[in-house]
Amino acid sequence: MDTKKKVPTNTITRDIKNLAAPTGNIYESVVILSKRANQIAAAEKRELTKKLEDFRNDRDTMEEVFENKEQIEISKYYERQPKPGLVAISEFENGDLVYKQANNEA
């Protein structure tokens, strides 16, 4: 996800008209953004889980838990990343997000 480099890590105020412009309907835009944010969050979770599997110990108990600096650094890296919603909005505003609308033929 290379778009994270351009994404602000804090929320900013956006004009609803600009978000609604590509679809013509704010509700459709919100659905598109929420689905993309869920995709991003799931991908990040898979990535983090894969990286943290190396540190998993099957015999962990409350007494045996110890701090691993690498594990802490990995966790902090993901905590500093922009939120999935912000990434989705950035992709949407930049035209990087590809979506298609279902036909309403009944």
pLDDT digits (tens, 9 = 90+) for 11-48: 788 899 999 999 999 999 999 999 999 999 999 999 99
Q: Where are the domains of the chain?
A: 12-56+64-92
pLDDT digits (tens, 9 = 90+) for 80-91: 899 999 999 999
Contact status, residue 28 vs residue 88, Cβ threshold 8 Å: no
Contact status, residue 52 vs residue 71, Cβ threshold 8 Å: yes
Percent of the chain beyond pLDDT 90? 35
d(CA 63, CA 36): 41
Please report the pLDDT score of residue 67 as a whole number. Answer: 64
